[in-house]
Amino acid sequence: MNGMIVAPQPLAVEEGIKVLRRGGNAMDAAVTTAFVQGVVDPQMCGIGGFGTMQVHMPRIGEETMIDFHAKAPYLVTPDMWKDLVIGLAKDGFGYILKGNVNDVGYLSIAVPGTVLGLHEGLTRYGTLSWKEVIQPAIRYAREGFPVTLSLRNWWLSRTDTGRVEFRKRIQTTPASARIYTKGAGELYEEGELLVSEEMARSLERIAEEGPEVFYHGEIARAISQDMEQNGGLIREKDLQDYRATSTEPLRTTYRGYTVATNPPPGGGITLIQILNILEGYDLSKLGVNTARYIDLVSKVMRIAFADRDKWVGDPAFVQVPVEKLISKEYADECRKKIQNVKNTPSPQKPTSDASHTTHVSVLDKDGNAVALTHSLGMSSGVVTPGLGFTYNNAMIAFDPMPGGANSLAPGKRRVTGMSPTFVFKGREPFLILGALGGARIITGILQAILNVIDHKMSIVEAIVSPRFDCQRGPITLEARIPYYVCEELEKMGNQVERTVRSYGNVARVHGILVDKSRGLLQGGADPAGDGVALMA
């Protein structure tokens, strides 16, 4: 059976497919795709960012998570922002602070992990050289790529959340404005070539010298100097001490399938908790997106996210009761609470990160699989002169009030909704899933799984089907869920918000379904973006 790649950026997918067709494996293709994504979708991801990947390598018997989450710099103090809090962003993605110091600019930047994370994956599981997998990204940075409608719309989109608007965000620093505008704030039009020679040079150095140049060498020194001169917190020691980590995936069973996903501070623990609770109900009898179905599933979401708010943080800093939260026994306890759950707004906590993230799902001809999610958060708008890449704004996801599971601390990894997930049928991968969309990644992937397993959909149908989300506030429903369903939900005592948009409000899911027993290989890219599924 041939391989397949699914991701939101067609140019990146095509470069990954070239790797598979030349005989490279799933990791070679995933890393190649990820580097190109960082060039052609530069506010969603890149070498100034962070992420996590799940890896399945059956021939060597390995199944692992490689986490390269963003870390708070050592100069962080737990209470440094407690007097700056204005409140939560209206959409729940992070806190709004005076001066937006955690959102844009140098203080918003956490220690990036993408370069080391991708290197770790390729070194352990790839077959191609580090230099080889970066070449397509260098080419697109140097020769340019056509600005997509999605990228231009991102620049033009407006927000009433309290965060800085994106058109202003990309002009936060002169070095960023020089790359992403044509002068005087004029944006590139759809189809115009965007070139970044400085990014090409940085990628060339990383290709030639390895991640050492980014974390220990000349690039590290340039980052540290720029941060120190402009009030940022990252120093050379933060970069020198950064490590990607390898962990065992969390696992559960769901209706005879095995689900494997990421541990804290990732979102997989919450995904598993929801699946365990829902396994006690016959969802197929309720029907897809009926009022009774949405009422039940949203109540289960609310229970799991309340536990997430209370318990989930960086396990190196807080004690997360992982075994309890993912146990079938705890799911039994949670089901007993369902009748008492009200889908009305509760005191809110921020939902980790917003939707400015990306993902790639890869399967090769030998059954190796990679699900890789990486991000810049919403991007800080900061580009160091001469380096050409944008940094993350991951600091926005930390709780600025001391004492919480996700509160600030030096060296701490922030909570994220990223949940690269495999569903196994026996020992074989059946679903390879991931999404962009902040904490709604969790509920987006959840519904893709339910649609395939409970509602017998193809992967395309499962991803295209309208979705809903309920974490702390009202139930949010995409516009394709009919008004009469909303009205019935309200009669059942729920508070409901129906979005204007038909697609993309509840994550953007990208996945592969493979079933060797039936000769099936299907790919689904979320219709809310430019995504594509290609077979090798």
Look at residue 72 and tell me if it is in a domain. Answer: no
When divided into structural domains, the chain yields a total of 1
Three-state DSSP string of 237-284: HHHHHCCCEEECCEEEEECCEEEEECCCCCCHHHHHHHHHHHCCCCHH
For residue 501, name the pLDDT band (cuts at 50, 70, 90): confident
pLDDT tens-place string over residues 39-75:
999 999 999 999 999 999 999 999 999 999 999 999 9
pLDDT at 183: 79
Residue pair 66/373 in contact (Cβ under 8 Å)? The answer is no
Look at residue 118 and tell me if it is in a domain. Answer: no
Higher pLDDT, 185 or 14: 14
Q: Is the pLDDT of residue 355 over 60?
A: no
pLDDT at 72: 99
Residues of the domain holding 342: 247-352+418-520+527-535
Instruction: Give mean pLDDT, residues 254-264.
Output: 99
Q: Is the pLDDT of residue 320 over 50?
A: yes
Higher pLDDT, 184 or 134: 134
156 burial (CB, 10 Å; 0-12 / 13-18 / 19+) is exposed
CA angle, 356 then 359 then 361, to 5°: 170
Higher pLDDT, 352 or 479: 479
Q: Is the pLDDT of residue 213 over 80?
A: yes
For residue 290, name the pLDDT band (cuts at 50, 70, 90): very high
For residue 505, name the pLDDT band (cuts at 50, 70, 90): confident
Instruction: Give mean pLDDT, residues 154-178.
Output: 88
pLDDT at 341: 80
Report the catalytic residues. Answer: 357
pLDDT at 352: 43
For residue 91, name the pLDDT band (cuts at 50, 70, 90): low
Look at residue 4 and tell me if it is in a domain. Answer: no
Q: Where is average pLDDT lowest: 149-158, 289-298, 375-384?
A: 149-158
For residue 186, name the pLDDT band (cuts at 50, 70, 90): very high
CATH number of the structural domain spanning residue 458: 1.10.246.130
Residue pair 203/134 in contact (Cβ under 8 Å)? The answer is yes
Task: Calculate the average pLDDT of the chain.
Answer: 95
* Structure tokens, 68: 């390269």
Q: Is the pLDDT of residue 419 over 80?
A: yes
For residue 184, name the pLDDT band (cuts at 50, 70, 90): confident
Q: How far apart are CA 278 and CA 301, in angstroms?
A: 10
Higher pLDDT, 94 or 413: 413
pLDDT at 174: 96
* Structure tokens, 46: 């890149």
> Tokens 């906590």 identify what position?
349
Q: Is the pLDDT of residue 145 over 60?
A: yes
Q: How far apart are CA 512 and CA 523, in angstroms?
A: 4
Q: Is the pLDDT of residue 15 over 70?
A: yes
Look at residue 333 and tell me if it is in a domain. Answer: yes
Look at residue 342 and tell me if it is in a domain. Answer: yes
Q: At what angle do helices 114-125 and 130-143 cross, to 10 degrees?
A: 140
Q: How far apart are CA 49 and CA 70, in angstroms?
A: 7
pLDDT at 351: 47
Instruction: Give mean pLDDT, residues 275-279.
Output: 99
Look at residue 59 and tell me if it is in a domain. Answer: no
Look at residue 149 and tell me if it is in a domain. Answer: no
Q: Where is average pLDDT lowest: 89-98, 134-143, 191-200?
A: 89-98
For residue 89, name the pLDDT band (cuts at 50, 70, 90): confident
Look at residue 77 and tell me if it is in a domain. Answer: no
Instruction: Give mean pLDDT, residues 87-105.
Output: 85
Q: Which amino acid is present at 142? A: R
pLDDT at 87: 84
Residue pair 375/50 in contact (Cβ under 8 Å)? The answer is yes
pLDDT at 346: 53
pLDDT tens-place string over residues 449-468:
999 999 999 999 999 999 99
Q: Is the pLDDT of residue 349 over 60?
A: no
Q: Is the pLDDT of residue 353 over 50?
A: no
Q: Is the pLDDT of residue 327 over 50?
A: yes
